[in-house]
Structure 1
Amino acid sequence: MSFLINHVKQAINDKQTNVVIFSATAIALYGYDQGMMSLINTNDSYLATMGLEEESPVVGVIVAVYYLGCAVGAVLFSKLADALGRKKSIFFSLAAASLGNLVMFVAGMGAIGGKTGALAVMLTGRVIMGLGVGGIDAVIPTYSSELSADDSRGKALAQEFQSNIFGLVMAFGINLGVTIALGKENEWAWRIPIIVMQVYPVLLMAFVERLPESPRWFIFNDRQDDAKEALDDIYGDGGKEKFDELLEQHEKEKDEKVGYLDMVTPSHPQFHPTMVTIMCQINQALTGYGAVSVYGPQIFELLGFSVRNSEYLTLGNYTSYFFLMTFAWLLIDALGRRHLLIQGSIILSSCFALLAVFGGLAANSSSLHIPVFVPGIIGTVILFVATGAFGIGWLSTVWLIPTEIFPTTARAQGTAISVIIWGLANFAITFLTPVLFNNLDYFIFLVFAGTNAVAGLWTYFYLPETGGRSFDENQEFFKEAGEQGTWRVSKVGKGEYAKMMYPDPEDPEGPNVDAERVPLLSRLGDQVPSVE
């Protein structure tokens, strides 16, 4: 018992642990929204209040417009993060998310407009909440990575995104519970899940002042004394060495001014990493899991299950998703980013191709004289596997990469661009998915099988391995690529950037070596917390 108490006290007092816990809870806001809307979309009272039919494309617009808000919020709050500091930007992002949630909650309530007014209020709330969540998704990964060690950046962010899935499970579970208790005709079956979300931003806003500000931001703004104090608070005795390292890096970068226009100008040094960032988010959208998360029950209905059983299976899939995310933070710093992404694409393409087969068997079971539950059960197992592959390979990895490949002067803009593309891509996917469901039926799985293959191939050819390298070392890849006139990873630096780097067990103080030279069990063991 004393062992447990001591570790709890250590976690409470450790600033890096506080940052991870805070960041994880903030990231859960995004997951909560996905789980929340998936059953609200089919609530009869909600549809009547908005004046919509369930098949109306406007249902998809209400879901998708949130992502446009995220894109705008990423730019707005990233600028605030550079001007006012990471902490203040996070606070204002949370405030926006809270306000948007309240606006959604009151849509169509009492005298607040008729059906047209309710729809307008709901759309407004979705956009405002999107602004806040976009800010959180842009600033939190930057803030978290700036306070993490080079060999644990992936683990920290993967843990945060595991919390994202907890938010998804929590929202869907609450939604399903109140729907069963109150029925799809009751307005509180959709209003309660919305207002429960207030727990997240309210608690986080109360806690944000306890967090340390980013020492990198202090140094970038010529506040060295504040940076030293923050580093001592975070690293203790290691603060002095870290300060010297950050100061040296700042001296190299301080004269570099990078704007958004620079980052999309082909001749600019940051154009290449910007294109990598953009393609990572496009490829994540192409996996189709934005659609699976929001329209989970409809996916299971394509496999032949009833509406209620589809809802139960969706909750089971999300719960499995949450637990399998543990492998993400165990593997991301042990195997590397490229390995997880490429293997994830292979598994996802295979699973979606099989889902098309078993979805077709389920849809034609009567004419084929086979029990509908047979292809349904097999398809469910495959979908569970695919969800786990996405979570381990693709969920957090693409958010981590832009925090590792840009210099301090462009990191906030880089992560903002990442959120912008994520928002636009998911707007398109969540808007088109209902249309694809209605027109393609189970053939939608073949579309996702193809898009996952495209995502995997692009990753293999063009994405450098950023794991096990410092921020400076990752930027060296882009300098060498420019000098050699190629973006192919295998042709830059004799292919060394396709490899994961790892501390050498025989010389821990020396330079990192190719991870393939370190036994996998040893690498995995390093990711498991010590119990001493």
Structure 2
Amino acid sequence: MGQTDDKPMAEVQHVDDSRPGEWSLESVLPKNGKPWYKQRHFLLLNLGMIIPYLSSTTNGYDGSMLNGLQSMSQWQNFFDNPAGTRLGSLSNGVIFGQILAFPIAPWLCDHTGRRFPIFIGSALLVIGAVLQCAAQNYAMFLVSRMIIGFGGLIAVEASPMLVSELAFPTHRSVLVGYYNNLWYLGSMLAAWVTYGTYFMGPNTSWAWRIPSLLQGAFPLLQVVFVYMLPESPRYLVQKDRHEDARKVLVKYHAGGDDESPLVDYEMKEIILQIQAAKSGSKTGYREFLSTRGNMHRLFIIIAVPCMMQLSGNGLIAYYLHLILNSIGLTSDPQQLRINGGLAVFNLGVSLALASLMEVAGRRRLFLFSTVGMLTCYVIWTILSAINQERGFHDSSLGTGVVVMIFMYQFFYNAGLNGPPWVYVTEVLPTHLRAKGTNIMQIASTCVLIFNGYANPVAMGAISWRYYIVYCCVIAVEIVLVYFWFPETKGHSLEEVALIFDGEQAFGIDSKEERSGDA
């Protein structure tokens, strides 16, 4: 994040309510010559984002933990070596819980704000983690994972919304980009925790119970601290609490300056956009089919999560042990070390790449990511095929596959880790953001169910040949991004609506205006 004065501030001008499309964020940005970390209000706000970030961290912990548990003989023996659909059900246990939460999560976000869903979802996650640790059989472990999925979805839907709607305008893309990147912090911790507890002994169930219990640590922090963050000013305006919304913006965006032109600008943008949305709003989810702009949004919020989960990353996230088995790397400690090393690599790379969203833009990163992933998957497939033909006797081929896995993750992180949540929260207007995020989660869940059941079965049946499917899928993604993903870089949340709806986004009929001007 750069300084708040990275653009020159013009003399404060009257904002013309009738032509929002001509407003300029640049003209109202404060000019004080200080970086954000030397300004108390920015420091408090940006550090506070750690609380909603932990929803992503917990999500990442789950995937890596299950990977680690599958490489543990203690866990395999306790649950009688689950495989095929039985293993798929454990992976999808979280998904089953998420499905139950779909009708509830957007309602909570729209009617109780953004903080309460994080609180209640995190509380359920803590309960699920305790039950997971105490599991005495397969059924209890599965039920605990359903509770984790139920609470996790509620928290995950609200968290990026809160970050996006609270962030200072010029900090938003980086802050929201960090949200999904913190998935890898949880992944890294789970990978190394499972590696450490593996050596507790071959006959102790605490080798897998301790990592299971620690899954509740981050949600517990959210339960304790989430109400230290302010509520979303956009939610407050949506509930006609304009004065409360203004207080949040004055305190955290203007450092207490009640006369700040930036606050006036933000309030007018938010109010006009929400009023226009309310006046033309249809009933529920049908509004996504009411205009061409909304149908374009609907396409994007379905395509993006499918790309995030259906680009072959599901194999690495939940079935890395099957990939490593397929190339002859079968040692438990060896697999756990690779899992841990990959998690550290992902965290470092994703954080380093997060700032590129404001340099390269969203669309370019999507293209860079998909083209790079396709290249890696093609090479990965070829090496795996040759390795199998040679009976896994050439260790360099196995090493080559591991290198391609790391390279694939580099390209995945560049475009499909941080940018998606930034992009989705930007293209959705405030009144559709909760419902749109829910649609995104539903699309993601459908793909995850496929991954949970199809991946272990297909890997067991056809091994490396399954990679060809993902090569084809990623090729299609490149085409979709090139033709249907507009750039949103450099716009406020309200200004992005102009890309999809034109000036009607602010309740202006451009045709009437042009005829009047004539």
Question: Do both proteins adopt the same fold according to a TM-score greater than 0.5, normalized to the shorter chain?
Answer: yes
What is the aligned partner in structure 1 of residue 396 from structure 2? 374
What is the aligned partner in structure 1 of residue 29 from structure 2? none
Q: Output the CA distance in 1 between the equivalents of 2:40 and 2:74.
A: 45
The alpha carbon displacement at 1:364 in A equals: 2.4
Q: Output the CA distance in 2 between the equivalents of 1:229 and 1:388.
A: 41
Cα distance, 1:259–1:279 mapped onto 2, change above 3 Å: farther
Preserved CA contact (<8 Å) 1:151 1:467 = no
Judge which range, 260-269 or 444-453, deviates more: 260-269
- For 2:89, give the aligned amino acid: V
The alpha carbon displacement at 1:37 in A equals: 0.7
- For 2:422, give the aligned amino acid: L
Q: What's the TM-score, normalizing by structure 1?
A: 0.81
The alpha carbon displacement at 1:200 in A equals: 0.5
Cα distance, 1:179–1:258 mapped onto 2, change above 3 Å: farther
The alpha carbon displacement at 1:61 in A equals: 1.0
Preserved CA contact (<8 Å) 1:151 1:333 = no
- For 2:175, give the aligned amino acid: A
Which of 376, 379, 390 is equivalent to 1:351?
376
Moved over 3 A (4+): 6-13, 42-50, 149-152, 238-241, 256-261, 263-269, 480-483
Judge which range, 352-361 or 238-247, deviates more: 238-247
What is the aligned partner in structure 2 of residue 275 from structure 1? 299
What is the aligned partner in structure 2 of residue 204 from structure 1? 222
Q: Output the CA distance in 2 between the equivalents of 1:13 and 1:335.
A: 25
Which deviations, in whole Å up to 9, do the C-alpha atoms of 1:382-403 show, x marking residues without a partner? 2111011111211122222221
Cα distance, 1:264–1:291 mapped onto 2, change above 3 Å: farther
Q: Output the CA distance in 2 between the equivalents of 1:86 and 1:303.
A: 45
The alpha carbon displacement at 1:331 in A equals: 0.7
Preserved CA contact (<8 Å) 1:256 1:409 = no
Q: Output the CA distance in 1 between the equivalents of 2:285 and 2:479.
A: 28
- For 2:241, give the aligned amino acid: R
Q: Does 1:384 align with 2:406?
A: yes
Judge which range, 134-143 or 239-248, deviates more: 239-248
What is the aligned partner in structure 1 of residue 25 from structure 2? none
- For 2:338, give the aligned amino acid: L
Q: Does 1:319 align with 2:306?
A: no
What is the aligned partner in structure 2 of residue 503 from structure 1? none
- For 2:306, give the aligned amino acid: I
- For 2:165, give the aligned amino acid: E
Which of 46, 50, 56 is equivalent to 1:27?
56
The alpha carbon displacement at 1:84 in A equals: 1.1
Q: Does 1:402 align with 2:420?
A: no
Which deviations, in whole Å up to 9, do the C-alpha atoms of 1:483-522 show, x marking residues without a partner? 9xxxxxxxxxxxxxxxxxxxxxxxxxxxxxxxxxxxxxxx
Preserved CA contact (<8 Å) 1:27 1:136 = no
Q: Output the CA distance in 2 between the equivalents of 1:163 and 1:415.
A: 19
Which deviations, in whole Å up to 9, do the C-alpha atoms of 1:255-288 show, x marking residues without a partner? 3445543145466753331121011111222211
What is the aligned partner in structure 2 of residue 296 from structure 1? 320
- For 1:101, give the aligned amino acid: A
Cα distance, 1:365–1:11 mapped onto 2, change above 3 Å: farther
Which deviations, in whole Å up to 9, do the C-alpha atoms of 1:330-368 show, x marking residues without a partner? 2112111111111111111111111111112222224xx
Q: Does 1:335 align with 2:360?
A: yes
- For 2:329, give the aligned amino acid: F
Q: Does 1:95 align with 2:123?
A: yes
RMSD: 2.5
- For 1:449, give the aligned amino acid: C
- For 2:375, give the aligned amino acid: S
Q: Output the CA distance in 1 between the equivalents of 2:338 and 2:138.
A: 30
- For 1:334, give the aligned amino acid: V
Cα distance, 1:473–1:72 mapped onto 2, change above 3 Å: farther
Q: Does 1:435 align with 2:457?
A: yes
Q: Does 1:83 align with 2:105?
A: no
Preserved CA contact (<8 Å) 2:52 2:222 = no
What is the aligned partner in structure 2 of residue 168 from structure 1? 187
The alpha carbon displacement at 1:212 in A equals: 0.7
The alpha carbon displacement at 1:433 in A equals: 0.8
Q: Secondary structure at the match of 1:344?
A: helix
Equivalent pairs: percent with the same residue?
Answer: 22
The alpha carbon displacement at 1:253 in A equals: 2.5
The alpha carbon displacement at 1:470 in A equals: 2.5
- For 1:418, give the aligned amino acid: M
- For 1:40, give the aligned amino acid: L
Which of 135, 140, 144 is equivalent to 2:154?
135
Q: Output the CA distance in 2 between the equivalents of 1:61 and 1:259.
A: 36
What is the aligned partner in structure 2 of residue 125 from structure 1? 144
Judge which range, 410-419 or 357-366, deviates more: 357-366
- For 2:308, give the aligned amino acid: Q
Cα distance, 1:189–1:481 mapped onto 2, change above 3 Å: farther
Q: Output the CA distance in 2 between the equivalents of 1:466 and 1:68.
A: 34
The alpha carbon displacement at 1:219 in A equals: 0.9
Q: Output the CA distance in 2 between the equivalents of 1:281 and 1:212.
A: 28
Q: Output the CA distance in 2 between the equivalents of 1:468 and 1:21.
A: 24
Structure 1, unaligned stretches of length 5 or more? 1-5, 109-117, 484-532
Q: Output the CA distance in 2 between the equivalents of 1:395 and 1:75.
A: 26
What is the aligned partner in structure 1 of residue 433 from structure 2? 411
Q: Output the CA distance in 1 between the equivalents of 2:327 and 2:179.
A: 32
Which deviations, in whole Å up to 9, do the C-alpha atoms of 1:265-319 show, x marking residues without a partner? 4667533311210111112222111221111232223233232323212221221
Preserved CA contact (<8 Å) 2:365 2:415 = yes
- For 1:217, give the aligned amino acid: Y
Cα distance, 1:328–1:344 mapped onto 2, change above 3 Å: same
Preserved CA contact (<8 Å) 2:274 2:431 = no
Q: Output the CA distance in 2 between the equivalents of 1:481 and 1:337.
A: 23
Q: Secondary structure at the match of 2:204?
A: coil
Cα distance, 1:310–1:40 mapped onto 2, change above 3 Å: closer
Q: Does 1:474 align with 2:499?
A: no
Q: Does 1:228 align with 2:246?
A: yes
Structure 2, unaligned stretches of length 5 or more? 1-34, 506-518
The alpha carbon displacement at 1:455 in A equals: 1.4
Preserved CA contact (<8 Å) 1:262 1:270 = no
Q: Secondary structure at the match of 1:254?
A: helix
What is the aligned partner in structure 1 of residue 69 from structure 2? 40
